[in-house]
A = this chain, B = another copy of it.
Amino acid sequence: MRKRPGYGSLLIVGGHEDKEGEKVILRAFVKKVGKAGKVVIATLASQEPKIMFEEYETALRSLGLRHVHHLSIESREEAMSDSRRRVLDGADAVYFTGGDQLKITSQIGDTPIYTRVCEIFEAGGLIAGSSAGASVMSETMMVGGEQESTYKIESLLKLAPGLGLVPGVIIDQHFSQRGRINRLIGAIAQNPRMLGVGLDEDCGIMLQRGRFQVVGSNAVHVLDGSRVTFSNLTEAEPETSLCIYGVRLHVLNQSDTFDLKTRRPRYNPERVVRQWVGLPPEKE
């Protein structure tokens, strides 16, 4: 991996990335790291870390990746130990798998492990995360239970601090599959400075230098609250439905890019990413 200090990349995935078919997302990961790169799979969020690791290991090795290591932590105490941290030595990329996002932040927040992850990122490495591993990328992350129906003001509190690798963005995953648009609108209503990024399953974004590109088979929803003209957030009773006017919504496809500063999407044909990861222009 040719690393440029200060220009780390993030691969943020909505969960259930394809591990048996064309594996576009994992191909993008391998393409970015390089087949000789050192990769650490961090299964901190998972209830079954060993099975999870093996799934990723098999898929990544099938794409030619040679150095795949496992970071598993059972407690915060372990996260403090030198021995655990050492698996990250010389790593080019870390992949946070799914599960419970609070298990990641509560175990490694403010520990040597977290510091090392930041160092890898700042040295120009790649930090990837899927599902719970995607949520933790942001400064503030969603932790609430499912919100399948109308959004009530009281629900807005189900947030927790994330790892803070992407400032100004709040991420939600399994987005279309679990009908989560209302809870993401609820989150950006609190502070329209935050851009809402909703990632579908088997879909992700590759983010570098304030710009991301969509990778995968489904869609990315971007919710931009910067032109919101009204919300009842502070005026209403907790059981009242959230009301908000003027949210801008973009639905992006594979290869489309988005500039976080100008908040503008840009179209690219799907084949752009396919060709970059070494697949034929169209699916057979």
Contact = CB atoms under 8 A, between A and B. Distances in A.
Interface of A: 148-151, 176-179, 181-182, 185, 200-201, 203, 217-219, 223, 230, 232, 236-237, 240-254, 256, 265, 267, 270, 282
A111 to B, nearest CB: 37
B150 A176 contact: yes
Contact of A245 (B185, B223, B250): B250
Given A149-B218, A176-B148, A267-B230, A251 B246 contact: no
Nearest to A283: B239
A272 to B, nearest CB: 13
Number of copies of this protein chain within its complex: 2
B218 A241 contact: yes
Contacts of A176: 148-151, 179, 182
| Interface SS majority for chain A | loop
A248 B246 contact: yes
Given A176-B149, A177-B148, A218-B149, A251 B242 contact: yes
A210 to B, nearest CB: 18
A251 B243 contact: yes
A217 B230 contact: no
A81 to B, nearest CB: 42
B251 A249 contact: no
Among A181, A232, A243, A254, chain B packs the most CB atoms within 10 A around the CB of A243
A232 B200 contact: no
B151 A219 contact: yes
Contacts of A200: 149-150, 241
A132 B217 CA distance: 32
A148 B175 CA distance: 10
Given A149-B177, A179-B148, A219 B247 contact: no
A265 B250 CA distance: 20
Contacts of A149: 176-177, 200-201, 218
A195 to B, nearest CB: 14
Given A200-B149, A247-B250, A241 B265 contact: no
Residue among A149, A217, A223 with the most chain B CB within 10 A? A149
Most buried by B among A251, A253, A267: A251
A177 B182 CA distance: 11
A187 to B, nearest CB: 13
